[in-house]
C-alpha cells in the first residue's frame, strides 16, 4: 500500500495559520517517516486559503537531503503549475478536477470545459519539467449539488483523462459520507478497464466504518490511499458538510491487521504524532 500523507489537507481547514517554523518542523518530520508521498502545500489564492499562503517560503526551508518520499504540491491553474514545476525538490503536481460543474464553480470558480483545459496545461508542464501529474476527481462517488451523476459518467471522464495522458487518478467523495458498497461499485472494473492508471482513494470521512471502506477499495485493487495524521482537515469549500480525512493511523492499522509491509520508520512516525497533537488544536 502507498500512503499519501497530506498535511495540506489538515492545515487548510484550520481557523488559524500555523506559524512558519512550526510547519517546517512538522513537514521535515513527515519527510523522514517513509511515506510514499508527502503533500507539502498548495499554490492557491492567499485570500481563499490563507493557511497555505506561505507554501513557497516553507519549501525554501525544508530539508530534502535524506527523504525517500515523493513531494507533491496542489495547484489550481496553469500559473501555479509553472511556479511549482521550477522547483527541483517537487516530484508531483496535483490538481482538483471534478465531474461536477456545480462543485467546480464553488471550489475553483471555473467550468468543466476550462477545468479540463487546465488539466491539459498542467500535464504539458509536467511532461516538460519531468514532474508527475496527479488528478483528483471530486464528487466521484455521488453528487449532492444537483448535477447529473452516474458510474458511466465518471468512467467517461476517466477515459478522457487517460486519453490525455494522465497516469494517476485519485477518487474523492469530498462532502458526503460513503460506504463500502459504493466504494466497491466504483472501483469494480476500473483497474481492468484502465490497467495503465494508478488509482487512489481520497476519503473524506467521520472515520465510521473506516476499515470496511479501505478494505472495499483494497480488495478491488486500489493501492494508493490519501490520509492525514489524526484525521484533520477536509475541503474548506464544501460548506456545512465538511468532513475530516481518513486517519493515517487507520491505514497503518489496516496494514498491520493484514500483515502488509509498510517500511515506515517507527521512531519518526511517533515524532509526527506528537508534533501533530501540538500543532493541530
DSSP codes joined into one string, 60-96 = HH---TT--SEEEEEESSHHHHHHHHT-TT--EEEEE
Per-residue model confidence (pLDDT) at position 189: 87
- How far is the C-alpha of 4 from the C-alpha of 167, rounded, in Å? 16
Per-residue model confidence (pLDDT) at position 62: 98
Is the entire prediction scored with pTM above 0.85?
yes
- Other CB atoms within 10 A of residue 113 CB: 10
Only one residue has cell 469494480, namely 188
Q: 2-279 sits in which CATH class?
A: alpha beta
Q: Radius of gyration over alpha carbons of the chain, in Å?
A: 17
Q: Which cell numbers in the block locate residue 281?
A: 488544536
Chain segment 4-39, per-residue pLDDT in tens? 999 999 999 888 999 999 999 999 999 999 999 999
- How far is the C-alpha of 3 from the C-alpha of 8, rounded, in Å? 14
Per-residue model confidence (pLDDT) at position 144: 85
Per-residue model confidence (pLDDT) at position 240: 39
Spans in the chain with pLDDT lower than 70: 234-243
Amino acid at each position: 500500500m502507498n500512503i499519501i500523507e497530506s498535511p495540506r489537507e489538515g492545515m487548510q481547514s484550520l481557523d488559524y495559520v500555523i506559524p512558519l517554523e512550526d510547519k517546517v518542523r512538522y513537514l521535515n518530520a513527515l519527510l523522514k517517516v517513509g511515506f510514499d508521498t508527502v503533500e507539502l502545500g498548495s499554490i492557491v489564492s492567499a485570500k481563499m486559503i490563507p493557511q497555505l499562503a506561505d507554501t513557497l517560503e516553507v519549501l525554501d526551508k525544508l530539508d530534502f537531503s535524506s527523504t525517500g518520499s515523493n513531494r507533491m504540491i496542489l495547484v489550481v491553474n496553469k500559473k501555479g503549475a509553472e511556479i511549482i514545476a521550477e522547483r527541483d525538490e517537487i516530484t508531483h503536481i496535483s490538481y482538483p478536477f471534478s465531474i461536477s460543474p456545480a462543485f467546480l464553480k464553488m471550489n475553483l470558480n471555473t467550468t468543466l470545459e476550462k477545468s479540463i483545459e487546465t488539466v491539459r496545461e498542467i500535464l504539458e508542464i509536467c511532461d516538460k519539467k519531468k514532474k508527475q501529474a496527479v488528478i483528483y476527481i471530486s464528487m466521484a462517488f455521488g453528487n449532492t449539488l444537483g448535477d447529473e451523476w452516474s458510474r458511466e459518467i465518471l468512467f467517461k471522464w476517466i477515459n478522457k483523462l487517460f486519453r490525455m495522458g494522465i497516469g494517476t487518478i485519485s477518487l474523492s467523495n469530498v462532502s458526503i459520507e460513503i460506504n463500502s458498497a459504493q466504494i466497491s461499485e466504483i472501483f469494480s472494473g476500473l483497474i481492468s478497464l484502465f490497467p495503465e492508471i494508478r488509482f487512489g482513494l481520497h476519503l473524506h470521512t467521520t472515520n465510521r466504518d473506516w476499515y470496511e471502506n479501505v478494505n472495499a477499495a483494497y480488495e478491488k485493487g486500489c493501492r494508493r490511499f490519501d490520509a492525514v495524521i489524526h484525521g484533520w482537515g477536509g475541503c474548506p469549500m464544501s460548506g456545512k458538510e465538511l468532513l475530516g480525512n481518513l486517519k493515517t493511523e487507520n491505514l497503518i492499522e489496516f496494514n498491520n491487521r493484514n500483515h502488509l509491509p509498510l517500511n515506515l520508520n517507527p521512531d519518526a512516525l511517533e515524532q509526527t504524532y506528537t508534533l501533530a497533537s501540538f500543532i493541530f488544536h
